[in-house]
């Protein structure tokens, strides 16, 4: 035989590279070591069936364990939930308490401002009541003197006094209560800022003020429609002006002497003025006492002395 028959055929470089690429490593665990040893597997050496089956199963188990590694947590004790509930309850309660205190503080400040305004109105009312009471008492006294003079015989009557007192009959002192602050408090629903005693007294004060206003309006109507026209029939305006030093007048006190019918009408008007004005004075005196009492309550309640 020739030497060529026993000489092995040379593999091409391309075949060697492709064979090397197809060779895959096989991982074998060393029981003594955690590291895996890598051994090359030749193309002619097939992989064991057991190895082929275990590789994907182990990978799947590992992935499953990694996904559910933190899903199981230890159960908390009931005391933990109790303290969480208690802290939440206290936080909500304290929130309500703080909000309630804030609203109470705001209401107290508003009540104080209203009290200051009420005190100013009541002081104005008190001063006006004092003036109206003095003036009205003067007119009551004048009407009483006129009645006494008309009760005398005509020969004993003082004509100058009759003229002067008759001219005074229509004069009227108006009491105009200051209720603007009270009405503002009432209409805005702010009466709840005050204690019950103050609310009761303010309500009575308003009711009585309206009653006095009603009486004043009735007296004013009588004065306008009946009293003033009657006085014009009796009064000698020139003589009255001379009494006031406005003109010189030397004529008679009465242009015409009044007859009995006119004197009776005169008497009725004088008595009506005395009676109505005296009643108004009593009402205003009661109202003044109430104003002073409310002033004392407000100043004591809000420290405004």
> CB 55: neighbour CB atoms within 10 A?
12
Residue 283 near residue 208, CB atoms below 8 Å? yes
pLDDT in the model for residue 240: 92
Residues comprising the chain, all counted: 305
Q: Looking at the domain assignment, is residue 286 inside a domain?
A: yes
DSSP helix/strand/coil, 25: strand
Decide the pairing of beta strands 36-40 and 25-29: antiparallel
What backbone phi and psi angles, to 5 degrees, belong to 258?
-70, 145
Whole-Å CA distances, 187 to 205, 210, 304: 16, 17, 24
Segments forming the whole domain that contains residue 124: 100-302
Provide the 8-state DSSP code for 77: P
Using CA atoms, how far apart are residues 203 and 217, in angstroms rounded to an integer? 21
Residue the block writes with tokens 């936080």: 91
Q: Is residue 48 part of a domain?
A: no
Q: Note the pLDDT of residue 72.
A: 56
pLDDT per residue as tens, the chain (305 positions): 444 444 444 444 444 444 444 444 444 444 444 444 444 444 445 545 544 444 454 545 445 545 555 555 667 677 877 788 888 888 888 877 777 767 767 777 888 899 999 999 999 999 999 999 999 999 999 999 999 999 999 889 999 999 999 999 988 887 889 899 999 999 988 888 899 999 999 999 999 999 999 998 988 898 899 999 999 989 999 999 999 999 999 999 998 888 889 999 999 999 999 999 999 999 999 999 999 999 999 999 888 87
- Number of domain units in the chain: 1
The answer to whether residue 75 sits within a structural domain is no
Classify residue 16: in a domain, yes or no: no
**Bridge-partner residues for 25, per DSSP?**
40
| Non-local CB neighbours of 68 within 8 Å, separated by 6+ positions | none
Please report whether residue 64 resides in a domain.
no
270 in a structural domain = yes
Helix (H) or strand (E) holding 31: none
How much is the pLDDT for 28? 46
Does a structural domain hold residue 211? yes
Please tell me the predicted confidence (pLDDT) of residue 43: 46
């Amino acid at each position: 035989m020739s030497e060529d028959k026993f000489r092995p055929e040379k593999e091409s470089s391309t075949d060697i590279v492709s064979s090397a690429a197809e060779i895959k490593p096989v991982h074998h665990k060393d029981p003594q070591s955690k590291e895996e040893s890598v051994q090359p597997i030749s193309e002619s050496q097939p992989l064991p069936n057991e190895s082929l089956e275990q590789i994907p199963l182990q990978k799947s188990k590992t992935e499953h364990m990694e996904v559910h590694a933190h899903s199981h947590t230890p159960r908390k004790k009931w005391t933990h939930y109790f303290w969480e509930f208690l802290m939440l309850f206290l936080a909500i309660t304290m929130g309500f308490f703080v909000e309630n205190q804030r609203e109470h503080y705001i209401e107290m400040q508003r009540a104080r401002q209203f009290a200051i305004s009420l005190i100013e109105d009541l002081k104005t009312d008190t001063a006006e009541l004092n003036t109206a009471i003095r003036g009205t008492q003067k007119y009551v006294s004048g009407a009483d003197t006129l009645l006494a003079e008309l009760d005398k015989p005509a020969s004993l009557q003082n004509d100058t006094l009759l003229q002067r007192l008759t001219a005074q009959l229509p004069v009227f002192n108006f009491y105009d209560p200051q209720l603007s602050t009270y009405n503002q408090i009432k209409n805005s629903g702010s009466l709840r800022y005050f204690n019950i005693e103050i609310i009761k007294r303010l309500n009575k004060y308003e009711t009585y003020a309206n009653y006095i206003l009603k009486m004043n309006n009735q007296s004013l109507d009588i004065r306008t429609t009946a009293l003033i026209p009657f006085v014009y029939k009796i009064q000698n305006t020139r003589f009255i002006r001379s009494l006031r030093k406005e003109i010189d007048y030397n004529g008679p006190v009465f242009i015409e002497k009044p007859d009995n019918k006119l004197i009776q009408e005169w008497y009725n008007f004088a008595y009506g003025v005395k009676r109505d004005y005296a009643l108004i004075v009593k009402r205003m005196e009661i109202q003044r006492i109430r104003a002073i009492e409310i002033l004392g309550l407000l100043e004591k309640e809000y420290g405004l002395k």
